């Protein structure tokens, strides 16, 4: 009986030799990186989910490394304005783009995008993933659970409205998917980010929101808004008292908002690897683990090409959701 061996074959030896020759040149591209502040383009205003994860992560990275990471909020058009700016940035390792599931949805909602998330960026890594949560203004909506909300919506079709972070965002598609699966109608009101949408929800200007848990977390804990259900098959970390949509009678309603980091196409591999190393250290710190738990987030586990394949699959999945839900720009 023969057994497989761990010895490399000739092709593998050549590949290893090539890699060893290339390594010094590759590493030489990033001596001491970064030598100046690194800009992180966040394509939504402050107060939204992307910003809620960006600031603690890059703040922790800055403290640990002694380097400066600057958050640059560039909101508009469902996150596509900031993505477009980041795609055109110099690929020198001093501009990165923190996007989200919205950027996997955008190709199906915005037919004239001047960038492609799969080809104009290099995937760096997944940062976090949180379930979508249905939140209401308790002064405007008397429901305390999902069954109660559905009773109100069905009794008064078209009366309630929901805010989103913008056309083509996960908030928008989560709302349209909810309407499709529950056969109800709620009017969509798009904003220029989750932050402004949440401000109006808290102020009582809108009724409810299908938000990423990360941006709603602090407001739920403070009692400013009421969490009705998370769109997941199990309750979220840090929020054991918020039931799932399945518990409320809608078992197929599952939507997550994930966040990730990209670099402009052409950014040196050595710099991307250095960024990944800094991110791994921060994400494994007790500070960030506790912060993610408080935001209802699951820990990330996808890097580089694996993250890129995940994004490609998400683009295809959301294309089908857009088609089946009939979601359009409002």
Please tell me the distance from the alpha carbon of residue 324 to that of residue 313, in angstroms, as a whole number.
17
Query: Residue 160 is encoded by which pair of tokens?
Result: 């309630």
Please tell me the distance from the alpha carbon of residue 30 to that of residue 321, in angstroms, as a whole number.
41
User: Is the N-terminal amide bond of 34 cis, ω within 30° of 0?
Assistant: yes
Q: Is 140 a residue whose pLDDT tops 90?
A: yes
* Domain identity same for 106 and 74: yes
pLDDT value at residue 30? 64
**What is the residue range of 208's domain?**
131-230
> Of the residues 212, 230, 248, which one is the last residue of a structural domain?
230
H helix or E strand, kind and range, residue 233? none
The answer to whether position 178 is within a domain reads yes
Please tell me the distance from the alpha carbon of residue 137 to that of residue 202, in angstroms, as a whole number.
6
Mean pLDDT of the chain: 89
* Domain identity same for 103 and 155: no
In our burial notation (b when 16+ CB lie closer than 10 A, e otherwise), range 280-304 reads eebbebeebeebbebbbbbebebbe
Q: Is 136 a residue whose pLDDT tops 50?
A: yes
Q: Is 315 a residue whose pLDDT tops 70?
A: yes
For 4, residues 6+ apart whose C-beta sits below 8 A from its C-beta are none
Q: Is 146 a residue whose pLDDT tops 60?
A: yes
Q: How many domains does the chain have?
A: 2
Residue 220 Cα to chain centre, angstroms: 19
**What percent of the chain clears pLDDT 90, i.e. is strictly above it?**
78
pLDDT value at residue 76? 87
The answer to whether position 32 is within a domain reads no
Find the radius of gyration of the CA atoms of the chain.
21
């Amino acid at each position: 009986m023969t057994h497989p061996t761990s010895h490399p074959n000739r092709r593998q030896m050549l590949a290893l030799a090539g890699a060893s020759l290339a390594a010094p040149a590759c590493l030489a591209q990033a001596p001491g990186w970064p030598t100046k502040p690194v800009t992180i383009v966040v394509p939504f205003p402050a107060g939204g989910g992307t910003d809620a994860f960006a600031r603690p992560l890059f703040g922790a990275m800055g403290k640990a490394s002694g380097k400066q990471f600057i958050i640059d909020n560039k909101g508009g058009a469902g996150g596509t304005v900031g993505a477009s700016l980041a795609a055109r940035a110099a690929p020198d390792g001093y501009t990165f783009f923190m996007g989200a599931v919205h950027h996997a949805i955008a190709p199906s909602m915005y037919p004239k995008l001047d960038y492609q998330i799969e080809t104009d960026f290099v995937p760096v890594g997944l940062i976090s993933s949180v379930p979508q949560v249905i939140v209401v203004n308790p002064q405007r909506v008397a429901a305390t659970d999902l069954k109660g909300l559905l009773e109100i919506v069905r009794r008064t079709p078209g009366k309630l409205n929901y805010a989103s972070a913008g056309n083509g965002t996960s908030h928008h598609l989560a709302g349209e998917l909810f309407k499709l699966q529950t056969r109800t109608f709620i009017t969509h009101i798009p904003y220029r980010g989750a932050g402004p949408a949440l401000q109006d929800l808290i102020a009582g200007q809108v009724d409810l929101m299908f938000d990423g848990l990360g941006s709603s977390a602090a407001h739920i804990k403070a009692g400013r808004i009421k969490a009705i259900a998370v769109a997941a098959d199990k309750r979220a970390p840090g929020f054991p008292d918020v039931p799932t949509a399945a518990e409320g009678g809608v078992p197929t309603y599952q939507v997550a908002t994930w966040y990730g980091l990209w670099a402009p196409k052409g950014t040196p591999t050595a710099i991307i690897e250095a960024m990944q190393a800094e991110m791994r250290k921060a994400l494994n710190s007790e500070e960030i683990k506790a912060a993610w738990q408080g935001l209802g987030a699951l820990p990330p586990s996808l890097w580089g090409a694996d993250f890129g394949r995940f994004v490609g699959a998400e683009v295809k999945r959301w294309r089908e959701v857009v088609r089946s839900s009939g979601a359009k720009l409002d």
